[in-house]
Structure 1
Amino acid sequence: MKALIDVIDIALNIYKWVIIVSAVLSWLIAFNVVNYRNQIVAQIDQTLRALTEPVLAPIRARMPNTGAVDLSPVVLLLGIILIQLVLAYYVRPYVF
């Protein structure tokens, strides 16, 4: 059981980094720091969007419109941190 909790924790940590990289890349594309016409940049962006959009879209649908600022990655990161805290403090002590 401890191994399963450790795998879940590692997967959540990796997904946190995917969300952060996706948000930073979207800012870099929006401010024309990186060129979206570059095939590598476009492929990385499409891959990151495919990994994050299924989770971020329902959050965006429930959040109020904040204009140009997208706060859904922040909400998702806070949710992942909450899940990790619950695993660390309530589940892990009872696993032998």
Structure 2
Amino acid sequence: MFVEIAYILLTVILYFIIAQAVMSWLIAFNVINTHNDFVRQLWDMLDRITEPLYRPFRRIMPDFGGLDLTPMLVIMIIVILRGPVLKYLAQFG
């Protein structure tokens, strides 16, 4: 039961991270802008969800200027947790 809930939770977090990354590209290339209320609210929601996940890793990641690799690192950690770690834990549960 715990493994299924953890898998679903990690999948939802993964989708939020991907949505936030895509939205940041759209904003950076001026496809959408934050002057629109819906876009601003959606961006704020995604930022509030993902920022607590990024914060610990941003402290230890080197500064690459305008390139933020923190979402990619968090995605890699989630993929590892969803794959081998949860399969290993499922053997005991």
Q: TM-score range by the shorter chain?
A: over 0.9
Alpha-carbon separation, structure 1, partners of 2:54 and 2:79: 15
Alpha-carbon separation, structure 2, partners of 1:30 and 1:58: 24
Structure 2 counterpart of 1:75:
73
Counterpart of 1:46 in structure 2: which amino acid? Answer: D
Residue in structure 1 matching 2:61, options 49, 60, 63: 63
Counterpart of 2:86 in structure 1: which amino acid? Answer: L
Alpha-carbon separation, structure 2, partners of 1:78 and 1:57: 16
Alpha-carbon separation, structure 2, partners of 1:17 and 1:42: 19
Runs of 4+ residues deviating >6 angstroms: none
Structure 1 counterpart of 2:20:
22
Residue in structure 2 matching 1:52, options 50, 53, 61: 50
Pair 1:7 & 2:30 matched: no
Q: CA deviation at 1:81?
A: 1.0
Alpha-carbon separation, structure 2, partners of 1:35 and 1:55: 24
Q: CA deviation at 1:60?
A: 1.2
Structure 1 counterpart of 2:86:
87
Matched position secondary structure for 2:72: helix
- CA RMSD, 1 decimal: 0.8
Matched position secondary structure for 2:35: coil
**1:35-63 Cα distance to aligned partner (Å, 9 max, x none):** 21000000000000000001102211110
Q: CA deviation at 1:94?
A: 2.4
